[in-house]
C-alpha cells in the first residue's frame, strides 16, 4: 500500500513503525571481538532474495513504442563534448505506458514490468510501487527526457507556478522539487533490474535543452575547488547565468518573511553578511536552519536544484541490480531512510558535476557489491542529513565489497552531509583501479568530509584489502580557509592528493552556521596497497599518503560557551603500502588528532611503526 505524503512535517516517515516496519538496532561493531563477523551478519540479512509474483507485464502491451535516434553534440564531462545519440524529434513517449504497466502489476499483487530490447524515450519519471520489479531486458536503452520541465508535470503535490513536484531531498535537506527520473516513496519489496550492462538508463545530463546550449549540468554554476584536474569548468556556464550558485530573485529577501519565529540574532547568523544565502544551494539549508516546514520549501520551476537520477525515500526491501546508469543530472542513486537495500552489479558512469555513484542517506542495512564506478564526483558517498534535517537518524550497518572505482572525488567517502551520524561501515576487497589517471584521476581513495556546520559523528569504520594499482591524484587540491585559520590550505591536500583523507574542515567558508563540531573515532584501515605511476618524469603514487585534519575550533561562530571540539581519536592503519608520495618531505599531515597508530606502514620504501598525535 502506498503511504500518503505528509507535506507539513519534516518528519515524513514518522508513520513507518505504525505501518509495521521495524527499525533495526545499531550494530555492535565497536565491541565485537571481530567486527567483520558483524559485516557478515549484515550481508546475510540483506542477501535474502526478494520475492515477486511470476507474471510479466510487458510495456509494449500498454502502448510503448520504440524511438529512432539522431546525433547531437553534447557535453560528456565538465569540460568535454562529443557526438551522442539521442531520440529524434517527436519520438513516441513511453512514460504513460510504463506508468500503466507498473500500476497494473501493482494492482494485480505484483510481478515484473518488462522493458524489451530497443531504444525508448521517456518524458517523465518512472515511479516504483510495492511488489513490482521493473526489469530492462538486454539491449533496452531508456533515454529520459533532458528537459527539466518534464519532471515538474507529474508530481503528487501541485505547487502552482513551480509545477507538480514530489517530496525530495537535495544534498540532505528536505524539499519539494523536480522528480528524479526513477522515484519511489514509502514502498516495500521493490526492484529495478537489468539483464546486463546493455540495459541502460540514460539521464542525458549533458544534452542541451534550449537554444543557449544549457543542459542539466549547466545548473551547477561556478566550481570552487582550487587546483582541480579535469573539472575546472561547468558545461556552458558563464558568470551571471542562473544556476544553483546564482542569487535567485524567487527566494525570499529576508528570512523574516518566511521564518518570522526566529530571533534577529538567529536570522543574522543564518543569512551571513552577504546575499549568497539566496542562491538555491544555500537557500534550502537556510530554510532548514530556520525550521521552515517542508510545505514552504518549494523549488522546482524557477529554481536550479537538479534532482538525483534514482531517488528512493522511506522504502524497505529494495534491490538495484544489473544495469548501466549514465549521464545523470545529479547523483546517480540516492536512497533516503531505506532499510534492507542491495545494489549489485551496477555500472555507474557519469562524468558531470555532482555525478556521485551511490549515496545512501540515513539508511540501515545496505550492501554494495560487484559494482563499477566511473564518476564526476564521489563514487560512493554515505550521507546522514544536514543542518536541522536529522530526523531519520544515522546511516548504519553498511557493507561495501568487490567493487571497482575509476574517476571520482573519493572512492569510498563518508559525508559531507552527515549531521545525523554514520556508524558501522565496512569496506573490503575493493580495487580503486583509477584507469583514467593520466587525464581525470581519482582524487582520494578513502575519504571523510565534515565541518562545524555538518557536524555529526563517524564511528566504527573498517576498511581492509584494497588495491590501488595506479595511485590517486599526484598533486594537491584544496579549499579556501578563513583568514584566521591555523591551517595553511595551500599546503594541505584536503580536496585531492591523499590516499586516506579525513577532513573535518571541509569547505569551511561555504556554511554560515558553524556551531556543531563533529566527532570521529574508532577507524581501522588495513592492507591497502598503492601502486606508482610515471607522469611528467616523476614516479609516484599520490601527493601525500595520509591527511588527517581534525575539527578546527576557530571556525566556531555560535553563542558562548562553545561546545567541546575534540580530536580525531582511535585510528589504526596497519599493514599498508602507500607507494611514493610526491611530497616526500611530508608523507602525512595531522592536525587535532590523538592516538593515530601506524603499524607496519610503508611509505616510499620506509616502514613506520609509530603513534601520531597533533594538537589543535
Residue 230, pLDDT score: 64
Residue 32, pLDDT score: 53
Query: What is the dihedral sign for C-alpha 224, 226, 227, 228?
Result: negative
Please, how many CA atoms are within 13 Å of residue 492, restricted to the half-sphere of its CB?
A: 23
Cα dist from 362 to 226, 382, 449, 462, 602, whole Å: 30, 8, 16, 18, 36
Residue extents of the structural domains in the chain: 382-615
- What is the pTM for the complete model shown? 0.94
Query: What is the dihedral sign for C-alpha 492, 494, 495, 497?
Result: positive
Residue 13, pLDDT score: 36
| Core vs surface per residue 563-602: b (16+ CB within 10 A) or e | eebbbbbebbbbebbbbbbbbeeebbbbbbbbebebeebb
Kindly give, in sequence order, each residue whose CB lies less than 8 Å from that of residue 399, ignoring residues fewer than 6 positions away.
39, 42, 43, 366, 367, 368, 369, 425, 426, 427, 428
Residue 118, pLDDT score: 98
For 418-541, list the strands marked E by DSSP: 422-432, 444-449, 457-468, 498-503, 519-530, 533-535, 538-540
Residue 222, pLDDT score: 81
Residue 229, pLDDT score: 76
Residue 474, pLDDT score: 96
Note the Cα 55 to chain centre separation in Å. 34
Backbone angles phi, psi at 309, to 5 degrees: -70, -45
CA distance 441 to 426: 24
Average pLDDT of each block of 10 consecutive residues along the chain (616 residues)?
39 34 41 85 97 98 98 94 97 98 98 98 98 98 98 98 98 98 98 98 98 97 74 86 96 96 96 95 98 98 98 98 98 98 98 97 98 97 98 98 97 98 98 95 97 97 98 94 87 93 95 97 98 95 97 96 97 98 95 98 98 96
Amino acid at each position: 500500500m502506498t503511504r500518503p505524503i505528509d507535506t507539513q512535517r519534516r518528519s515524513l516517515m514518522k508513520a513507518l513503525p505504525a505501518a509495521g516496519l521495524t527499525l533495526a538496532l545499531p550494530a555492535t561493531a565497536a565491541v565485537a571481538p571481530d567486527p567483520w563477523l558483524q559485516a557478515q551478519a549484515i550481508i546475510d540479512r540483506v542477501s535474502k532474495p526478494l520475492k515477486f509474483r511470476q507474471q510479466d507485464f510487458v510495456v509494449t502491451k500498454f502502448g510503448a513504442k520504440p524511438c529512432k535516434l539522431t546525433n547531437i553534440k553534447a557535453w560528456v564531462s565538465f569540460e568535454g563534448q562529443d557526438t551522442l545519440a539521442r531520440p529524434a524529434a517527436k519520438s513516441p513517449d513511453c512514460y504513460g505506458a510504463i506508468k500503466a504497466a507498473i500500476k497494473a502489476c501493482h494492482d494485480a499483487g505484483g510481478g515484473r514490468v518488462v522493458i524489451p530490447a530497443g531504444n525508448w524515450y521517456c518524458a517523465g519519471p518512472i515511479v516504483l510501487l510495492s511488489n513490482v520489479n521493473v526489469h530492462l531486458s538486454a539491449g533496452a536503452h531508456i533515454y529520459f527526457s533532458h528537459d527539466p520541465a518534464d519532471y515538474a508535470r507529474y508530481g503528487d503535490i501541485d505547487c502552482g507556478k513551480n509545477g507538480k513536484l514530489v517530496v525530495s531531498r537535495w544534498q540532505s535537506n528536505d524539499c519539494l522539487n523536480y522528480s528524479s527520473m526513477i522515484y519511489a516513496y514509502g514502498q516495500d519489496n521493490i526492484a529495478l533490474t537489468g539483464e546486463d550492462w546493455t540495459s541502460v538508463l540514460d539521464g542525458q545530463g549533458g544534452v542541451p535543452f534550449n537554444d543557449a546550449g544549457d543542459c542539466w549540468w549547466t545548473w551547477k554554476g561556478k566550481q570552487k575547488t582550487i587546483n582541480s584536474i579535469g573539472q575546472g569548468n561547468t558545461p556552458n556556464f558563464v558568470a551571471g547565468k542562473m544556476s544553483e550558485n546564482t542569487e535567485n530573485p524567487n527566494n525570499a529577501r529576508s528570512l523574516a518573511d518566511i521564518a518570522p519565529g526566529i530571533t534577529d540574532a538567529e536570522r543574522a547568523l543564518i543569512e551571513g553578511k552577504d546575499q549568497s544565502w539566496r542562491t538555491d544551494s544555500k537557500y534550502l539549508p537556510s530554510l532548514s536552519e530556520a525550521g521552515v516546514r517542508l510545505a514552504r520549501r518549494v523549488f522546482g520551476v524557477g529554481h536550479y536544484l537538479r534532482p538525483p537520477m534514482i531517488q528512493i525515500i522511506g522504502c524497505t526491501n529494495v534491490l538495484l541490480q544489473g544495469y548501466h546508469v549514465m549521464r545523470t543530472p545529479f547523483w546517480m542513486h540516492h536512497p533516503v531512510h531505506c532499510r534492507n537495500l542491495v545494489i549489485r552489479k551496477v555500472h555507474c558512469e557519469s562524468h558531470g558535476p555532482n555525478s556521485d555513484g551511490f549515496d545512501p542517506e540515513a539508511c540501515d542495512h545496505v550492501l554494495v557489491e560487484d559494482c563499477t564506478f566511473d564518476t564526476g564526483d564521489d563514487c560512493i558517498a554515505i550521507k546522514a542529513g544536514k543542518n536541522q534535517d536529522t530526523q531519520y537518524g544515522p546511516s548504519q550497518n553498511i557493507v561495501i565489497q568487490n567493487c571497482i572505482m575509476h574517476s571520482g572525488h573519493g572512492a569510498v567517502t563518508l559525508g559531507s552531509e552527515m549531521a545525523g551520524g554514520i556508524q558501522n561501515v565496512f569496506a573490503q576487497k575493493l580495487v580503486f583501479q583509477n584507469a583514467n589517471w593520466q587525464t581525470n584521476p581519482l582524487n582520494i581513495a578513502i575519504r571523510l568530509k565534515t565541518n562545524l556546520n555538518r557536524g555529526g559523528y563517524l564511528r566504527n569504520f573498517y576498511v581492509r584489502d584494497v588495491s590501488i594499482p595506479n595511485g590517486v591524484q599526484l598533486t594537491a587540491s584544496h579549499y579556501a580557509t578563513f583568514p584566521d585559520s591555523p591551517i595553511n590550505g595551500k599546503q594541505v591536500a584536503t580536496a585531492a592528493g591523499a590516499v586516506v583523507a579525513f577532513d573535518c574542515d571541509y569547505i569551511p567558508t561555504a556554511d554560515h552556521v558553524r556551531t556543531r563540531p563533529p566527532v570521529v573515532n574508532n577507524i581501522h584501515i588495513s592492507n591497502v596497497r598503492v601502486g606508482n605511476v610515471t607522469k611528467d618524469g616523476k614516479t609516484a603514487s599520490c601527493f601525500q599518503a595520509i591527511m588527517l585534519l581534525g575539527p578546527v575550533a576557530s571556525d566556531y561562530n555560535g553563542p558562548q560557551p562553545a561546545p567541546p571540539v575534540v580530536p580525531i581519536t582511535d585510528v589504526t592503519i596497519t599493514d599498508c603500502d602507500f607507494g611514493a608520495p610526491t611530497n616526500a618531505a611530508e608523507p602525512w599531515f595531522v592536525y587535532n588528532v590523538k592516538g593515530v597508530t601506524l603499524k607496519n606502514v610503508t611509505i616510499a620504501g620506509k616502514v613506520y611503526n609509530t603513534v601520531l598525535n597533533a594538537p589543535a
